[in-house]
Structure 1
Amino acid sequence: MIQIGLVGNPNSGKSSLFNALTGLNQKVGNFPGVTVDKKTGICDLGEQQKATLIDLPGTYSLYPKRGDEWVTYQVLMGQDKEVKLDMLILLADASNLKRNLLFVSQIIDLKIPVIVALTMMDLARSKGIEVDLEGLERELGVPVVAVNPRKSKGIPQLKKVMAATAKGQYKAPAFDFIANHELAAGAVSEVKQLVPGLSDYKAIHYLINHESFELGAGLQEKIEGAEKNHAFNPTKTQAEEILQRYARIKTIMGQTVAEPDPLHKTILTDKLDSILLHRVWGYLILLGVLFLLFQSVFLIAQYPMDAIETSFGALGSWLGEVLPATWWSDLLINGIVAGLGGIVIFVPQIMILFGLITVLEDTGYMARISFLTDKLMRKVGLNGKSVMPMISAFACAVPAIMSARNIENKKERLLTILVTPLMSCSARLPVYTILIALVIPQKMIGGIVSLQGLVMMGLYLLGIVLAMAISWIAKWFIQNKDKSFFILELPMYRAPRWKNIFTTMIQKAQIFVFEAGKVIMVISLLLWAMSSYGPGDRMAQVETEFAAKKAAQPEALEELEKAEASAKLANSYAGILGKAIEPAIEPLGYDWKIGIALITSFAAREVFVGTMATLYSVGDSDDESGLLLREKMQQEKKSDGSPVYSLATGLSLMVFYLLAMQCMSTLAIVKRETRSWKWPMIQLAYMTALAYVMSWLVYTIAS
């Protein structure tokens, strides 16, 4: 099994080609010693030849700056113990060939067999750029294949060249792209004697970065000596190398690429950017996009959600009629069916939210959001690169925090990690949905704008505003004087790939149902047991008390049975736990049932709905068993007869779930990324305190 590395500049189509070559034969791990994703897959080259394809992090050149670029560099320099490459596939963007050819030329001089996969050919043609593939292949001395992985074009031809290279038909070029030896002749010769088998260009990199390689103390000292003996200047050598490479690239481009006058044609992307990145209209359009996003999540999902909720209510009612009144039927109806209902009902909203976010990414608009917000981000201690993790956190904070690795500045990366969980992830969506439906009227403003959708958008915006405020405060306490620069390549605008969008929607729904669903079901069943049973003396006392009341007041049997069910729930193990924390949460407007949900939500926020479904199902009397969860919660009363879920309580609870750190997985990933328990503990403390104070303020004002 040969190993093939997939390399290229960011936004060159690397992920699409990796998916096209490997299909579903993929797995994701980590490169040893670092928290950078290692995507590997099996690629079938035909004739019983298979290869392991390794997707290396994107980089612009062999002079790394970020942590993920160092991972690629170490592999290419042969310093990764697990990855020993037999060949490389190097993606180059045909629409931006001059910049991409710098990396191509450096790889050629490493003397690893390489195939150049030329992407974005359709985009190049739309810009009036024509590339002579045969001429480019002749000038570079390596195979060049045009591919379009988004449409699966050129993949069979690429596989043929890969198979031929694996058989030795194509080898690394014999001649260097530039005269690398002449850049530092004496030092290069000495290093090649110390480490036999190095190319001239790789010897230069040993001179520049040998301290980052595992070479042994003796060899390190000898290379250091070679530097001093020949007065090797790494900065001067690098500058001279780049100038020579671009001079040769200019010659090759003149012979193989026909380009139009750059002033002759303004492409669609430039015209759109003049509007979407405008200093005034750009921000208004961004707010409009977010507004449409959350309106769509509510309005489109309303119909399938109502159908699912009604179906589960009818199923529970039917099972209650046909099954005998035993413990196992109670477990089935109030534990399993109620728990499943609390999971499945939110699938439409999650699919719609992820689908719309994928549309924004696929069209190229998501990168514009980073560019647009960089100036604002810098004022609070972040930069434009912080936006992508923060937007990703609308889906889930765990991968969002991992994606902050791309931020070079340590202070900005740490601030991004600290505030990213304040973004409203998809786990909060079920909580918002049930609470908004409870306390916000289903009203249209001006006949077109949903009030419930506006409240949903307000919650998301509140999370963003508070994240910025916390970052602005925290930047004064985290000391780091490193300067940072925000350099971003804006991708071209493209039509969304609908197949990719629908695939993402289905995958996210499956993850929610099978991953979050497992947690919800386990906690639902545990809660059913804790809510159905309690200390023997307490439960016996309740039964004795109500048996006497039923005998004395047979005409009030229905009301007494309802009161008995509530009393048993209050004296169950779950009830005792809820009552114990009730004094602490009462100032926020919460009762002991909500207290139980707050505790169980630390496993996963979306468990709130499953907890409510179980608690209110277990506490039902027979005449209430057919009611929907929302209706049961609306009917819940305090001891003074006022509704538990008033507007003040509902808003307070939404704000609490918006701000509280109720996710063990997030804390674990923050510990892993910061390599310390200090920061997750600070995060847990400040988010819990902020949630409590803000919820108390909202409840006090709304009351």
Structure 2
Amino acid sequence: MQASLNIALVGNPNSGKSSLFNVLTGLNQKVSNFPGVTVDKKTGHANIASGLAANVIDLPGTYSLYPKSADEYVTYDVLINVNASEAPDLVIIVADASNLKRNLLFCSQIIDLKMPVIIALTMMDIARKKGVEIDLDGLERELGVPVVAINPRKNKGVAELKKIIELTAKGNYAVPARDFINNIGLAKESIEDVKKYTNSRSDYAALHVAVNSDELNFLNGGQKLAIKNALQTNQFNKTKVQAEEIMQRYARIKHIMKSTVVEADPLQKQLRSEKIDDLLLHRFWGYVILLVVMFLLFQSIFWLASYPMDWIEAGFGQLSGWLTNILPNNKVTDVFINGILAGVSGFAVFVPQIAILFGLITILEDSGYMARISFLTDRLMRQVGLNGKSVMPLISGVACAVPAIMATRTIENKKERLITILVTPLMSCSARLPIYTVMIALVVPDRRVFGILGLQGLVMMGLYLLGFFMAITIAALMKLFVRIREKSYFIMELPVYRAPRWKNVGITMLEKSKIFITDAGKVIVVISVILWFLASYGPGKRMEPIHQKYEQLIAAAPKDSPEADSLNHLYRSEKLSNSYAGILGHTIEPAIAPLGFDWKVGIALITSFAAREVFVGTMATLYSVGENPNDNNATLREKMAAAKRVDGTPVYTLATGVSLMLFYAFAMQCMSTMAIVRRETKSWKFPLIQLVYMTGLAYIFSLIAFQILK
């Protein structure tokens, strides 16, 4: 029978913890070179040795055992709560060898919890470049726990780590008998009282219960009351105790560093990362380079994706036309071609752009540049009530608002976190990308500016920048109304620059494309089929007269003549206008007509509330149902470009296109985002505030744009 361990991976942010998790478990989990990106517990199965398996828990990064943010409390709860289902049998502390002194503080705290511990030293190559040499055997003797050097990015030292895990599981490595510092001396009476009321595994664990008893969910009301009374009797001063503890730990760490670590002359030449930072973090050139990087990002989305998008679009057009010719003319064929196939083609064409967007973002994260963006924008963020840590969720919102809002857990300040959550959906996410692409292709000429800059790419970049500047504008206004007073600090470790891991980039592109196809695709196809039904059927009192009228006219017209084709087109258009979908669209048309939208766009606005990308699938279905079967090999863009109003004018003019893009740039058209805001804020008040203010912004800006440009 195979034995199983619970192994917790802990460590400072950006120490290589998530990379080790991937190596041990084999899971294709995204690894980001940015401090604090892991905000939830992630688990995976690992085979350690013959007859020994492990459930590995990747915990959020933290600098010490005193939590300050929501994600750090996840780590804290797992380590302190001995009764937790995830309580680890073994803790692997991933420590950055190039910043050993800072990492040893956290290591010493975990060691004093009296759990089996292994220290995995990463970044040994960077430490050597800094001129730092570490005596691993000496460090192991001083700490009393096994120490192993690893490089998870290159799979080095992992086999040795697994062997130590196996030996630890067999009991070959005992928990250190002595504390790293004299914990009991910090607050003897209080620690002893806490141990009476809890099953704390060590003096240091009892000290933490004393410090954080009010916030610990695993304590019941009776325990909290008894501990509170005991601490009051003992005149326990947690601030004084914490300060004394940290001073003692650093004094011991200084002694260990002196005996086991050889450091280079502090006047040595700068590392390559520091030299690059002199340029990329420059007060002027840093911002210029940032704008260039963003410009290249959005130009690449159009340039690189244009060829595969054209192939996919043309392929679906040909497939639709071919199936129309070979399949029997009945309802099953109709729902398959104009419902399911039209819906699939509506989102499949944008998969290349989604993949390229996530691939480029992964390169920025993996190289270490994403962290510099936070550093550069901290000054701007502070002026609008945020700080540099708010930038990462905002940038992540370019991919998807749901994980971006979850990433706000790394923001310690409650006011800044709340404001970040409320403005993040204004960032243009990947779900808006299909809408932007269709409308830009329809109304923006494909020409060059200054001979080299693509106008369509510039418009796309402008839409993304518009979302960012609107987010910080709204944040500045919310700063005046959110009444939470709390000091804010922005402390951040900048990772070293590294070459992107191209395998990781490729995996991310494939995984995100798969998620888009499966998650968004399922919603789009289901809604497309429902729309086909609503667009194909209507009330009998409306549909019957239309059927009788055109049946006689078509029968009287010569077969396969232009007159018959024209009558068929009018028949299908009038049926669509009087269908259930048409009635719904015409009902809301007066409210959206001032924005330049017709009733078909109105239907798309309603259906896309399930997910923004449903807009394109909705338009594909509506234009497929409403068009002549002989036009089925035309692409969606061609059908939309040919669309006319009742007076014969084009539906999609520059004014309408800009109005529609602005509406989707600002509107809260996503139920998933509202759900995650409700979960993070524990209230429906804030998602409803978002819905109201974002819909208002969308309507006002669309109205102004259309009225000016028409």
Scaled to the shorter chain, the TM-score interval is over 0.9
Tell me the equivalent position of 2:451.
Answer: 447
Tell me the equivalent position of 1:575.
Answer: 582
Residue 290, structure 1, aligned to residue 294, structure 2: yes
Tell me the equivalent position of 1:265.
Answer: 269
CA change 1:384–1:442 in 2 (3 A) is: same
Alignment of 1:350-361 (within 5 A): 350-361=354-365
CA change 1:180–1:308 in 2 (3 A) is: same
The correspondence for 1:591, drawn from 569, 594, 598, is: 598
Deviation at 1:208, TM superposition (A): 2.2
Residue 49, structure 1, aligned to residue 49, structure 2: no
Report which stretch shifted further, 610-619 or 63-72: 63-72
Cα distance in structure 2, aligned partners of 1:3 and 1:16: 18
Cα distance in structure 2, aligned partners of 1:267 and 1:139: 30
Tell me the equivalent position of 2:684.
Answer: 677
Q: State whether residues 39 and 407 of structure 2, in contact with CA within 8 Å, keep that contact through their aligned partners in structure 1.
A: no
CA change 1:383–1:547 in 2 (3 A) is: same
CA change 1:26–1:416 in 2 (3 A) is: closer
CA change 1:466–1:224 in 2 (3 A) is: closer
Cα distance in structure 1, aligned partners of 2:103 and 2:200: 27
Deviation at 1:68, TM superposition (A): 2.0
The correspondence for 2:147, drawn from 144, 148, 165, is: 144
Q: State whether residues 28 and 507 of structure 2, in contact with CA within 8 Å, keep that contact through their aligned partners in structure 1.
A: no
The correspondence for 1:668, drawn from 675, 679, 686, is: 675
1:550-579: per-residue Cα shift (whole Å, max 9, x none)? 456546222111111111111111111111
The correspondence for 2:424, drawn from 417, 420, 423, is: 420
Report which stretch shifted further, 321-330 or 288-297: 321-330
Report which stretch shifted further, 203-212 or 6-15: 203-212
The correspondence for 1:10, drawn from 9, 13, 16, is: 13
1:446-491: per-residue Cα shift (whole Å, max 9, x none)? 3321110000000001111111111111221111111111111111
Tell me the equivalent position of 2:35.
Answer: none
Tell me the equivalent position of 1:68.
Answer: 71
Letter of the 1:509 counterpart: S
Deviation at 1:78, TM superposition (A): 2.3
Q: Secondary structure at the match of 1:52?
A: strand
Q: Secondary structure at the match of 1:324?
A: coil
1:514-553: per-residue Cα shift (whole Å, max 9, x none)? 1100000001111111111112232221122223434565
The correspondence for 1:644, drawn from 626, 638, 651, is: 651
Tell me the equivalent position of 1:655.
Answer: 662
Q: Secondary structure at the match of 2:61?
A: coil
Residue 153, structure 1, aligned to residue 161, structure 2: no
Deviation at 1:228, TM superposition (A): 4.6
Alignment of 1:596-615 (within 5 A): 596-615=603-622
Cα distance in structure 1, aligned partners of 2:111 and 2:225: 29
Alignment of 1:77-226 (within 5 A): 77-78=80-81, 81-192=84-195, 198-213=201-216, 214-216=218-220, 219-224=223-228, 226=230
Tell me the number of residue pairs that the alignment of Structure 1 and Structure 2 aligns. Answer: 696
CA change 1:197–1:238 in 2 (3 A) is: closer
Deviation at 1:381, TM superposition (A): 1.2
Alignment of 1:364-383 (within 5 A): 364-383=368-387
CA change 1:428–1:219 in 2 (3 A) is: closer
Q: Secondary structure at the match of 1:319?
A: helix
Cα distance in structure 2, aligned partners of 1:358 and 1:221: 48
Residue 629, structure 1, aligned to residue 640, structure 2: no
Letter of the 2:577 counterpart: A
Report which stretch shifted further, 120-129 or 549-558: 549-558
Tell me the equivalent position of 1:32.
Answer: none
Q: Secondary structure at the match of 1:183?
A: coil
Deviation at 1:218, TM superposition (A): 5.2
Tell me the equivalent position of 1:31.
Answer: none
Alignment of 1:381-396 (within 5 A): 381-396=385-400
Cα distance in structure 2, aligned partners of 1:629 and 1:385: 41
Q: State whether residues 26 and 41 of structure 1, in contact with CA within 8 Å, keep that contact through their aligned partners in structure 2.
A: no
Cα distance in structure 2, aligned partners of 1:190 and 1:335: 69
Letter of the 2:280 counterpart: L
Deviation at 1:162, TM superposition (A): 0.6
Residue 530, structure 1, aligned to residue 542, structure 2: no
CA change 1:286–1:37 in 2 (3 A) is: same
Cα distance in structure 2, aligned partners of 1:613 and 1:560: 22
Cα distance in structure 2, aligned partners of 1:284 and 1:511: 34
Letter of the 2:282 counterpart: H
1:406-449: per-residue Cα shift (whole Å, max 9, x none)? 11111111111111101111100000001111111111223321
Report which stretch shifted further, 587-596 or 197-206: 197-206
Deviation at 1:196, TM superposition (A): 6.5
Residue 406, structure 1, aligned to residue 415, structure 2: no
The correspondence for 1:341, drawn from 338, 345, 348, is: 345
Cα distance in structure 2, aligned partners of 1:622 and 1:193: 80
Q: Secondary structure at the match of 1:174?
A: coil
Q: Secondary structure at the match of 1:180?
A: coil
Q: State whether residues 435 and 654 of structure 1, in contact with CA within 8 Å, keep that contact through their aligned partners in structure 2.
A: yes
Deviation at 1:24, TM superposition (A): 3.0
Deviation at 1:151, TM superposition (A): 1.4
Q: Secondary structure at the match of 1:484?
A: coil
1:387-413: per-residue Cα shift (whole Å, max 9, x none)? 111111111111111111111111111
Report which stretch shifted further, 101-110 or 430-439: 101-110
Residue 490, structure 1, aligned to residue 497, structure 2: no
Deviation at 1:152, TM superposition (A): 1.3
Residue 241, structure 1, aligned to residue 245, structure 2: yes
Q: State whether residues 82 and 200 of structure 2, in contact with CA within 8 Å, keep that contact through their aligned partners in structure 1.
A: no
Letter of the 2:283 counterpart: R
CA change 1:635–1:38 in 2 (3 A) is: same
Cα distance in structure 2, aligned partners of 1:543 and 1:190: 86
Q: State whether residues 321 and 631 of structure 2, in contact with CA within 8 Å, keep that contact through their aligned partners in structure 1.
A: no
Deviation at 1:355, TM superposition (A): 0.1
Q: Secondary structure at the match of 1:37?
A: coil
Tell me the equivalent position of 1:30.
Answer: none
CA change 1:80–1:429 in 2 (3 A) is: farther
Letter of the 1:127 counterpart: K
1:109-138: per-residue Cα shift (whole Å, max 9, x none)? 111110000011111112121111111111
Deviation at 1:306, TM superposition (A): 0.4
Deviation at 1:614, TM superposition (A): 0.8
Q: Secondary structure at the match of 1:428?
A: helix
Q: Secondary structure at the match of 2:148?
A: strand
Report which stretch shifted further, 15-24 or 507-516: 15-24
CA change 1:137–1:564 in 2 (3 A) is: same
Larger RCO (alpha carbons 8 Å, 6+ apart): 2
The sequence identity of aligned pairs, in percent, is 62
The two structures, once aligned, show a CA RMSD in angstroms of 1.9
The correspondence for 1:508, drawn from 498, 508, 512, is: 512
Report which stretch shifted further, 349-358 or 485-494: 485-494
Cα distance in structure 1, aligned partners of 2:187 and 2:330: 86
Deviation above 6 Å: which 4+ runs of structure 1? none
Ranges in structure 1 where 5+ consecutive residues have no aligned partner: 28-34
Deviation at 1:668, TM superposition (A): 0.9
Q: State whether residues 590 and 649 of structure 1, in contact with CA within 8 Å, keep that contact through their aligned partners in structure 2.
A: yes
Cα distance in structure 2, aligned partners of 1:637 and 1:390: 39
Tell me the equivalent position of 2:33.
Answer: none
TM-score under structure 2 length normalisation: 0.95
Q: Secondary structure at the match of 1:181?
A: coil
Cα distance in structure 1, aligned partners of 2:43 and 2:358: 25
Q: State whether residues 531 and 581 of structure 2, in contact with CA within 8 Å, keep that contact through their aligned partners in structure 1.
A: yes
Q: State whether residues 113 and 202 of structure 2, in contact with CA within 8 Å, keep that contact through their aligned partners in structure 1.
A: yes
The correspondence for 2:473, drawn from 451, 469, 490, is: 469
Letter of the 1:11 counterpart: N
Cα distance in structure 2, aligned partners of 1:531 and 1:192: 69
The correspondence for 1:22, drawn from 22, 25, 36, is: 25
The correspondence for 2:330, drawn from 326, 331, 336, is: 326
